[in-house]
Chain A
Amino acid sequence: MAKRIDVSGLSAYYGTTKAIEDISMTVEPRSVTAFIGPSGCGKSTFLRTLNRMHEVIPGARVEGKVMLDDDNLYGANVDPVAVRRTVGMVFQRPNPFPTMSIYDNVAAGLKLAGVKKKSVLDDVVEKSLKGANLWKEVHTRLNKPGAGLSGGQQQRLCIARAIAVEPQVLLMDEPCSALDPISTLAVEDLIGELKSQFTIVIVTHNMQQAARVSDRTAFFNLAGVGQPGKLVELDDTQRIFSNPSVQATEDYISGRFG
């Protein structure tokens, strides 16, 4: 179910401003890859290019190639809507649909894909909520609004919603930055379990988190304010945090800047 991501020569723009420049990297399937770097270095922008969410911002565009196994996500005939069904996303702030129940939130993606059969939906909702370690907490109140859950539960609800459509890749944009330490731990444990099925890419500001959850870590940096962000290096997480090959990475992870 998981696929490999192969990015080559990717740049992204907001209007005329170049946000990231010439990024190439490979993300291995069934692994967790963490993006770290100072604010404004373009790691979130880059993440959003991987499911074509970057271009929903007016004036935003992308150059370059993103291969998902053998398919170019930016190919001429590729529908961005189809891409987003294959590459799921979890956002910085938990964003369950406020007008929907817990059940409907999880089923939303399937309903969009045209699944109507109640029995199928029931199964997937249960499986996804179990997959997101949320089933035990909510199975008695599936018809209650999703917005009534705690922040950590909401974020796991969003993860359940994302995995319900069985994507190939799961992108997470600082999924724990709005959560307390206990909820963060719950989400981190969940990431560890999900990587057996999905290719996971996570943006994080928290270097300890990157070290805890990821197999590979990419460090992004920018030359200065107004300069586009660039990929500095991508390596095994252990190497990045013990013996990085670039001086800037070492400076960043040892807290000398950023």
Chain B
Amino acid sequence: MTSSHPADAPGRVRRRKTSQLGDKIFFNAARGAGILLLVIMAAIAGFLAYRSALALSKNQGNFLTTFEWAPDAPKPVFGIAVLAFGTIVSAVIAMVIAVPVAIGIALFISHYAPRKIAQPFAYLVDLLAAVPSIVYGLWGALFLVPHLDGLTSWMDQYLGWTYVFDQTRAGTTPRTLFTVGILLAIMVLPIITAVTREVFRQVPRMHEEAALALGATRWEMIRTSVLPFGRPGIISASMLGLGRALGETIAVAVVLSSNSVLSLHLLDPGGGTFAQNIALKFNEAGSFGRDALMASGLVLFVITLLVNGAARMIVARRKEYSGANA
């Protein structure tokens, strides 16, 4: 529609039209992407809900409290108690270990290490995030499991009174939820570190100087300026990591020796997680068994949504104290 007129007044008008067109294209592309996201989410939820409903209608046991997973038996019985417990416990162990370590590494990179060391170090951490999870799984099974005996028997000896760290079957290989937790911690460490590091880097210089000028040491400065400012970022980063820990499949499947026992003795082998259970059973399952696995997937989906919602509420509750309105 544009002709080869020289750039005069009408030309200027045409240019503005193009930019309006650009605005429109961009607006619609952005809106389309947003809508697409919602549609995909709804489609996943709808698909899972439909297949789950099929399975649940024929379940002879209580879906929430049953321990065993036998959907393809003549009298189908399956429940998520063990899976939910194992998923949450291993993810919690992972977060307890990973979050403090990740914050430490992030602070080291952003505030302690000289720039020459910080850059390659940060790169190294990012690289860890790119390692495929099956590699972590193999490392966990071939290295971590055989080498964790010392730690678990030490914990049994000195922390056994806590019940959770009591080994009732000493001498078994530690293919336990505890080991899975450690492995997951290592796996989620890079993502949490990378995000918190960026947040710590963005703490305004003037807030750090405010603390220093009051006579704060470097650690006190970090405590009064950097950590409070980075708090929402730390929570978001942890949620990203938690999401990965809750959904991790293959590494858990390789390491954990699963059974349908729900035990608070975390150092005893056994238990299971949602994703690991799906990966393990999917190939051998009949079509009804697959629907049952979908139902467990839906529960994982809901748990993840709840956790994210809770995290958002924590961040929003202290919004007026966030660094954003400084």
Residues of A whose CB lies within 8 Å of any CB of B are 51, 53, 56, 58, 81-82, 84-85, 88-89, 91, 93, 95-101, 108-109, 112-113, 144-145, 147-148, 158, 161-162, 165
Contact = CB atoms under 8 A, between A and B. Distances in A.
Contacts of B73: none
A145 B318 CA distance: 10
Contact of A97 (B215, B225, B325): B225
Nearest to A89: B213
A91 B206 contact: yes
A113 B224 CA distance: 13
B209 interface: yes
A154 to B, nearest CB: 9
Contacts of A113: 215
B207 interface: yes
Contacts of B210: 91, 95-97, 158, 161
B231 A93 contact: no
Interface residues of B, number: 27
Given A56-B209, A91-B210, A99 B323 contact: yes
A112 B221 CA distance: 9
A237 to B, nearest CB: 26
A85 B215 contact: yes
Given A97-B225, A112-B224, A147-B325, A58 B207 contact: no
A99 B229 contact: yes
Which 8 pairs from chain A and chain B are nearest by CB? A85-B215, A99-B228, A98-B326, A89-B213, A95-B206, A109-B214, A95-B210, A84-B215
A84 B224 contact: no
A81 B215 contact: yes
Contacts of A109: 214-215
Instruction: Classify the secondary structure of B's interface with A.
Output: helix
A6 B225 CA distance: 32
A51 B216 CA distance: 13
A165 B326 contact: no
B212 A56 contact: yes
Contacts, number: 88
B322 A93 contact: no
20 contacts: A51-B213, A53-B212, A88-B214, A95-B209, A95-B210, A95-B326, A97-B207, A98-B228, A98-B229, A98-B322, A98-B324, A99-B318, A99-B321, A99-B323, A108-B211, A109-B214, A109-B215, A112-B215, A144-B320, A145-B320
Interface in B37-81: none
Contacts of B326: 95-96, 98, 147
Contacts of B324: 98
B212 to A, nearest CB: 6
Contacts of A58: 115
B23 interface: no
B217 A81 contact: yes
A162 B206 contact: no
Given A56-B212, A145-B325, A165-B215, 12 more contacts: A88-B213, A95-B210, A96-B210, A97-B207, A97-B211, A97-B225, A98-B321, A99-B318, A100-B228, A112-B224, A145-B321, A161-B210
B323 A98 contact: yes
Contact of B220 (A82, A88, A97, A112): A112
B207 A82 contact: no
Contacts of B231: 99
B274 to A, nearest CB: 37
A151 to B, nearest CB: 11
Most chain B CB within 10 A, of A98, A112, A145, A162, is at A98
Contacts of B214: 84-85, 88, 108-109, 112, 161-162, 165
Interface string B219-233: 010001100110100
Nearest to A161: B214
Contacts of A144: 320
Contact of B209 (A53, A148, A162): A53
A94 to B, nearest CB: 9
Contacts of B209: 53, 56, 91, 95
B102 to A, nearest CB: 20
A112 B224 CA distance: 9
A109 B210 CA distance: 10
Contacts of B207: 95, 97-98
Contact of B321 (A53, A84, A93, A100): A100
A133 B281 CA distance: 71
A148 B319 CA distance: 12
Interface in B168-214: 204, 206-207, 209-214
